[in-house]
Chains A and B, each alone.
Chain A
Amino acid sequence: MSFDATNSSKSFKSVGTRPLRPDGVDKVTGRARYGADFNMPGQLVARVLRSKHAHAKIKSIDTSRAETVKGVKAVVTAADLPDLTDGDPALFAVLDNCMARNKAMYDGHAIAAVAAIDEKAAKAALKLIAVDYEILPHVTDVDAATLPDAPVLNEAIFTQGVEPKSTRPSNIANRTEFGHGDVDVGFSHADSVVERSYKTEQTHQGYIEPHACVANCNPDGTAELWVCTQGHFVYRQVCADLLGIEVSKLRVTSSEIGGGFGGKTHVWTEPVALALSRKANRPVKLVMSRDEVFRASGPTSATSIDVKIGANKDGIITAATATLRYTSGPYADMWAELGAMTSFACYDLENVKTVGLEVIVNRPKVAAYRAPSAPMAAFAVESAIDELAQKIGMNPVDFRIQNVASEGTQSSYGPIYGPIGIGPTLEAAKAHPHMSAPLGKNQGRGMACGFWFNFGGQTCTDLNISADGTVTIAVGTVDVGGSRASLSLIAAEELGLSYDNIKAVVADTSTLGYNDMTDGSRGTFSTSMATISAARNAIEIMRHRAALMWDIPLGDVYWEDGHAHAAGTKHGNLAPLSVKDIAAEAGKTGGPIAGHSELVADGAGVSFATHICDIDVDPETGSSRVVRYTVIQDAGKAVHPSYVEGQYQGGAAQGIGWALNEEYIYGEDGRLQNPGFLDYRIPVCSDLPMIDTQILEIPNPKHPYGVRGVGETSIVPPLAAIANAVSNAVGVRMTHIPVSPPRILAALTDAKD
């Protein structure tokens, strides 16, 4: 059934309220079941042997001694995961990342795995696996990898997207370009130009729950997987493809999720657990240690970005360019492309050009991290924008407002914008008391804007009305950021019920149609659309049932405020029928009442934010503290405002950590030096101020309630906002994220010399 998703302005009863979250009590009392909390009888424990070399040819693997350890039931290597990827390079990259085939490509790359009756036996067996490596030269730095003398990491990679075609293998896998106008002409009209190079270090999503799963392959060819994931349907597809299982025979159930932020949109060890279970003919539990999570899952790109922006003396940007180099780990990917697309998305530019270069390095395969690739591009661009504003003597807010994109603007990455929120967030920032509050000694203020695409995608939802008139909704998008609460509010709104009458559950892959994963800030956007559609379908059925119960024509029954009403006066004074009344008679009027919806949620609606940050810097030590932070973001319509605020605060908190201290540190030997939370420094509570939020609601015209995704954009501005604040506090332009105390102190010392 087609569904009209057009926004129709209405007043809401449930949407916009702040009821208690349905998963809260379970989570705070420890009852919630996360990935590692599932167990099966006869379950084995799996452990993975990982490379301690950054780059090495695997000459041979001898597992014979490991197999003899008492309690060991299976040992697998790449030989147990034959290549079924049929020339699909992206799928092959996933396979090779799960288990190295010919070469170990980074410190932490999986080489072999063991399933045993207990941890001790598994650990003992790992020590007995003999791997004969031929150590190869490695490169981990984004810029070093592009130098002529860098070791070529994959002889089969030739730079794509260049003319003439590349004839020599290169660590630059792909080049993409976006923009319009003529930047040379644009720069010739500029009165002031800022041109700088920036760098950001690799960070991890830092989810507190490590990857965990239980895999069970049955002798009849069916299999089950219980796993912590952002997308169990996608995990099912990828695992089935890699293991050669028919998709419908693999049933994947998602657990509660202790953070994902994009890192749980990719499979890591799940195919290995399935391969072990298949070989051992027993269920296998595989839980990554924190060390493994850092070394072999997750991280975002390290980047090196050159930006040039010119403006005339009236404050109009005449031209802007950026060249963005993003690491993707050992395999080709499209992270720089996303950076190139997002760089200048906040601005209305006549002449703009961005170039993205995907760089191969000996680091873990890069994964999505909350608005992937956008924060680094925003850091570089928003730093240059700030500097240019100072150079031409304009207030940084006014300079941005002067050049801001609005409805009808051709974006720097191509599309023409519909109604968007960047202008209103800037106007709100300008008017916000934070912007004019006095600063103390050694304090600086910074601001920055951010953009994210948002996504909709394939969605399927079931809504079942029980005999007592209460409702369950079964959704296929994993609840990462509170979608069960939001969707319950949406169902309550449509059906005219109270929030307490709705129970939302995440269904497994065998009980619901396909759903894309919870990424692209799509969870509440797309699934609310499907939930509204399913509810309206259920209402249609209830109208039929009411007509039957009253024995009047369907056309005389209309639905309002959670009740079927008989139209007009010709049917006498029939009392309206509630959902409960109709549900109670369902067995006599045609059976259970349910609404279904299958749709592709188009029109996600791009998202924008503006952040303001005050920072206090100790000029003698380079120590910094964020003392005030404000997030202003467009939500379209905030379904559950507390969760929306939580998303704003969470993105800002992660961005603050990224900006100030988080970074992957590699040694000369190409090994990761800080694979743990002690030396990979995410912020602790006392590091952060209370993060203020301001929700703007500029309705998305393509959602019935005007909803836009809100999960990701909040991490885009912080790197730039903080770098601008620190630069303003110390009077030296900071161009390397994280702006950690040693970098701040070194910059101050250099400036003095």
Chain B
Amino acid sequence: MRYERPDTMQAATALLAGAEAKSFVLAGGTDLLVRMQNDDFEADLIVDIKAISGMAKVTETDDGFVIGAGVPSVALFEDTALVAAWPGVVEAANLIGSTQIQGRCTIVGNLCNASPAADSVPALVAAGAVAQVAGPSGTRDVAVIDIPTGPGKTSLAKGEIIQAILLPKPNARTGDAYLRFIPRTEMDIAVVGVAVNLTLNEDGTVIAARVALGAVGPKVILVDTAAKAVIGSKLEDVVLQALSESCSAACTPINDKRGTVAFRTQVAGVLARRAAQTAYTRAGGK
């Protein structure tokens, strides 16, 4: 196994493009180092991207925020401007693993690991985040929802690395929230995850909405019917009921060791309602 720590993105993508089949990108390492303990794990090349400049920075721009691929979750929590703009994204990133894990893990790693249960991914999708993908022939922007294609699989081509996540500047009176269900209080994997992002007008009516579900299908699900259910409303009970039902209807879960189809479907609706209420309050609704 070869370990490389290049100092430019160009060198990193070139290493990966020229590598044998089993190559891995190392940022926080909270997934990779655990996998390396498995008897079945084999790697030819590990490319550590933390020495590349800009990887560990959150930059506020005119358009929004650029979050480098090496930024640990805890640093997002410490960025007051980001917390103010996208509290739901930050709270999702700070639910990953444990306090110790949050000191190392990154939202880009969470995305590229492509677990259907990733906590930060529904929040990023609800926020309309974009992944900035570097490759041997330059960079391209890809909507976060298009990165995972199924459990453990992404749309990234050989040699490509997500170098940053771009979050837009939220419109006025916008709020987001993420809730997940775990049987314990922490250090667990989402059985259901729901992110809601709402924008209100002056009188508190929802004028834009994005609702994303995690752990209830092979990849993150953006529920357009749920968004339609709340747009034009002030989250009255009947609207919340419709939101809840549309989220349950959008679920395509499986029975597994973490939960049943019935449980996941039912709880997705409950969490959607609760997350929407939090997002609504954060957006300034009353």
Which of A's residues lie within 8 Å of B, judged by CB?
123, 126, 289, 620-623, 625, 660-661, 665, 673-674, 678-679, 681, 683-684, 686-687, 740-742, 745-746, 749
Closest approach, in angstroms, between the C-beta of A114 and any C-beta of chain B?
12
Q: Quick check: A686 and B185 within 8 Å, CB to CB?
A: yes
Knowing A674-B257, A681-B188, the reply to whether A741 touches B183 (Cβ < 8 A) is yes
Q: From B98, which residue of chain A is reached at the shortest CB distance?
A: A684
Q: Quick check: A742 and B260 within 8 Å, CB to CB?
A: yes
Knowing A621-B270, A741-B181, the reply to whether A684 touches B186 (Cβ < 8 A) is yes
Among candidates B39, B186, B257, residue contacting A123 with C-beta atoms closer than 8 Å = B39
Q: A687 contacts which chain B residues (CB < 8 A)?
A: 184-185
Q: From A679, which residue of chain B is reached at the shortest CB distance?
A: B257
Cβ < 8 Å to A, chain B residues 249-263: 256-260, 262-263
Closest approach, in angstroms, between the C-beta of A12 and any C-beta of chain B?
41
Q: B270 contacts which chain A residues (CB < 8 A)?
A: 620-621
Mark B7-37 against chain A: 1 for CB-CB distance below 8 A, else 0: 0000000000000000000000000000001
Q: Quick check: A623 and B183 within 8 Å, CB to CB?
A: yes
Q: In the complex, what distance in Å separates the CA atom of A681 from the CA atom of B259?
A: 13
Q: In the complex, what distance in Å separates the CA atom of A36 from the CA atom of B271?
A: 45
Q: Quick check: A745 and B263 within 8 Å, CB to CB?
A: yes
Q: Is B209 an interface position by the 8 A CB rule?
A: no
Q: Is B266 an interface position by the 8 A CB rule?
A: yes
Q: In the complex, what distance in Å separates the CA atom of A712 from the CA atom of B201?
A: 62
Q: Is the interface of A mostly helix, strand, loop or mixed?
A: loop
Knowing A673-B257, A674-B257, A679-B258, the reply to whether A745 touches B185 (Cβ < 8 A) is no
Q: List 14 A-B contacts (CB under 8 A).
A: A123-B39, A620-B270, A673-B257, A678-B189, A679-B258, A681-B183, A681-B184, A681-B188, A683-B184, A684-B187, A686-B185, A741-B191, A742-B260, A742-B262
Among candidates A673, A674, A684, A749, residue contacting B266 with C-beta atoms closer than 8 Å = A749
Q: From A622, which residue of chain B is reached at the shortest CB distance?
A: B263
Q: B111 contacts which chain A residues (CB < 8 A)?
A: none
Q: Is B131 an interface position by the 8 A CB rule?
A: no
Q: B260 contacts which chain A residues (CB < 8 A)?
A: 742, 746
Q: B185 contacts which chain A residues (CB < 8 A)?
A: 625, 684, 686-687
Q: Given A621-B271, A741-B259, A742-B260, 15 more contacts at CB 8 Å?
A: A621-B181, A622-B267, A661-B183, A661-B184, A674-B257, A681-B184, A683-B184, A684-B184, A684-B186, A686-B186, A741-B181, A741-B191, A745-B267, A746-B262, A749-B266
Among B181, B189, B191, B257, the one with the most A-chain Cβ atoms within 10 Å of its Cβ is: B257
Top 8 nearest A-B pairs (CB, nearest first) are A742-B263, A686-B185, A673-B257, A620-B270, A665-B257, A674-B257, A661-B183, A742-B260
Q: A684 contacts which chain B residues (CB < 8 A)?
A: 184-187
Q: From B39, which residue of chain A is reached at the shortest CB distance?
A: A123
Q: In the complex, what distance in Å separates the CA atom of A679 from the CA atom of B182?
A: 11
Q: Quick check: B259 and A742 within 8 Å, CB to CB?
A: yes
Mark B245-286 against chain A: 1 for CB-CB distance below 8 A, else 0: 000000000001111101100110011000000000000000
Closest approach, in angstroms, between the C-beta of B143 and any C-beta of chain A?
30
Q: In the complex, what distance in Å separates the CA atom of A126 from the CA atom of B191?
A: 35
Q: B259 contacts which chain A residues (CB < 8 A)?
A: 741-742
Q: In the complex, what distance in Å separates the CA atom of A749 from the CA atom of B267?
A: 12
Q: A740 contacts which chain B residues (CB < 8 A)?
A: 183
Q: A749 contacts which chain B residues (CB < 8 A)?
A: 262, 266
Knowing A681-B184, A686-B186, the reply to whether A673 touches B256 (Cβ < 8 A) is yes
Q: B39 contacts which chain A residues (CB < 8 A)?
A: 123, 126, 289
Cβ < 8 Å to A, chain B residues 23-60: 37, 39
Q: B257 contacts which chain A residues (CB < 8 A)?
A: 665, 673-674, 679
Closest approach, in angstroms, between the C-beta of B59 and any C-beta of chain A?
34
Interface residues on B, range: 20 to 34
Q: From A126, which residue of chain B is reached at the shortest CB distance?
A: B39
Q: In the complex, what distance in Å separates the CA atom of A678 from the CA atom of B97?
A: 10
Q: In the complex, what distance in Å separates the CA atom of A745 from the CA atom of B261?
A: 12
Q: A625 contacts which chain B residues (CB < 8 A)?
A: 185
Cβ < 8 Å to A, chain B residues 141-187: 181, 183-187
Q: In the complex, what distance in Å separates the CA atom of A746 from the CA atom of B260?
A: 10
Q: Is the interface of B mostly helix, strand, loop or mixed?
A: loop
Q: Quick check: B187 and A623 within 8 Å, CB to CB?
A: no
Closest approach, in angstroms, between the C-beta of A419 and any C-beta of chain B?
41
Q: B187 contacts which chain A residues (CB < 8 A)?
A: 684
Q: A681 contacts which chain B residues (CB < 8 A)?
A: 183-184, 188
Mark B99-133 against chain A: 1 for CB-CB distance below 8 A, else 0: 00000000000000000000000000000000000
Q: B266 contacts which chain A residues (CB < 8 A)?
A: 745, 749
Among B185, B191, B271, the one with the most A-chain Cβ atoms within 10 Å of its Cβ is: B185
Q: From B185, which residue of chain A is reached at the shortest CB distance?
A: A686
Closest approach, in angstroms, between the C-beta of A116 and any C-beta of chain B?
14
Q: In the complex, what distance in Å separates the CA atom of A623 from the CA atom of B260?
A: 14
Q: A661 contacts which chain B residues (CB < 8 A)?
A: 183-184
Q: A683 contacts which chain B residues (CB < 8 A)?
A: 184
Closest approach, in angstroms, between the C-beta of B30 and any C-beta of chain A?
12
Closest approach, in angstroms, between the C-beta of A233 and any C-beta of chain B?
34
Q: In the complex, what distance in Å separates the CA atom of A531 from the CA atom of B259?
A: 52
Closest approach, in angstroms, between the C-beta of B186 and any C-beta of chain A?
6
Q: B189 contacts which chain A residues (CB < 8 A)?
A: 678-679
Q: In the complex, what distance in Å separates the CA atom of A621 from the CA atom of B257?
A: 17
Mark B189-212 against chain A: 1 for CB-CB distance below 8 A, else 0: 101000000000000000000000
Q: In the complex, what distance in Å separates the CA atom of A679 from the CA atom of B259?
A: 11
Closest approach, in angstroms, between the C-beta of B223 and any C-beta of chain A?
19
Q: In the complex, what distance in Å separates the CA atom of A749 from the CA atom of B270?
A: 14
Closest approach, in angstroms, between the C-beta of B271 and any C-beta of chain A?
8
Q: In the complex, what distance in Å separates the CA atom of A272 from the CA atom of B20?
A: 38
Mark B223-258 against chain A: 1 for CB-CB distance below 8 A, else 0: 000000000000000000000000000000000111
Q: B37 contacts which chain A residues (CB < 8 A)?
A: 289
Among B184, B188, B260, the one with the most A-chain Cβ atoms within 10 Å of its Cβ is: B184
Q: In the complex, what distance in Å separates the CA atom of A656 from the CA atom of B188?
A: 17
Q: B186 contacts which chain A residues (CB < 8 A)?
A: 684, 686
Closest approach, in angstroms, between the C-beta of A67 and any C-beta of chain B?
19
Q: In the complex, what distance in Å separates the CA atom of A679 from the CA atom of B183?
A: 10
Q: A686 contacts which chain B residues (CB < 8 A)?
A: 184-186
Closest approach, in angstroms, between the C-beta of A136 and any C-beta of chain B?
25
Q: A126 contacts which chain B residues (CB < 8 A)?
A: 39
Among A660, A673, A740, A745, the one with the most B-chain Cβ atoms within 10 Å of its Cβ is: A745
Q: From A290, which residue of chain B is reached at the shortest CB distance?
A: B37
Q: From B258, which residue of chain A is reached at the shortest CB distance?
A: A679
Q: B258 contacts which chain A residues (CB < 8 A)?
A: 679
Q: B263 contacts which chain A residues (CB < 8 A)?
A: 622, 741-742, 745-746
Q: A742 contacts which chain B residues (CB < 8 A)?
A: 259-260, 262-263
Closest approach, in angstroms, between the C-beta of A616 and any C-beta of chain B?
12
Knowing A674-B257, A679-B257, A742-B263, the reply to whether A623 touches B181 (Cβ < 8 A) is yes
Q: In the complex, what distance in Å separates the CA atom of A123 from the CA atom of B271?
A: 45
Q: In the complex, what distance in Å separates the CA atom of A686 from the CA atom of B186?
A: 7
Q: In the complex, what distance in Å separates the CA atom of A683 from the CA atom of B188?
A: 11
Q: B267 contacts which chain A residues (CB < 8 A)?
A: 620-622, 745
Closest approach, in angstroms, between the C-beta of A118 and any C-beta of chain B?
14
Among A622, A661, A684, A742, the one with the most B-chain Cβ atoms within 10 Å of its Cβ is: A742
Q: B183 contacts which chain A residues (CB < 8 A)?
A: 623, 660-661, 681, 740-741
Closest approach, in angstroms, between the C-beta of A351 and any C-beta of chain B?
41
Q: In the complex, what distance in Å separates the CA atom of A200 from the CA atom of B32?
A: 36
Closest approach, in angstroms, between the C-beta of B100 and any C-beta of chain A?
12
Closest approach, in angstroms, between the C-beta of A743 and any C-beta of chain B?
9
Closest approach, in angstroms, between the C-beta of A275 and any C-beta of chain B?
21
Q: A679 contacts which chain B residues (CB < 8 A)?
A: 189, 257-258
Q: In the complex, what distance in Å separates the CA atom of A678 from the CA atom of B262?
A: 22
Q: From B244, which residue of chain A is reached at the shortest CB distance?
A: A620
Q: In the complex, what distance in Å separates the CA atom of A281 from the CA atom of B34?
A: 34
Q: In the complex, what distance in Å separates the CA atom of A348 from the CA atom of B44?
A: 69
Q: A746 contacts which chain B residues (CB < 8 A)?
A: 260, 262-263
Closest approach, in angstroms, between the C-beta of A418 and any C-beta of chain B?
42
Q: In the complex, what distance in Å separates the CA atom of A625 from the CA atom of B185?
A: 9
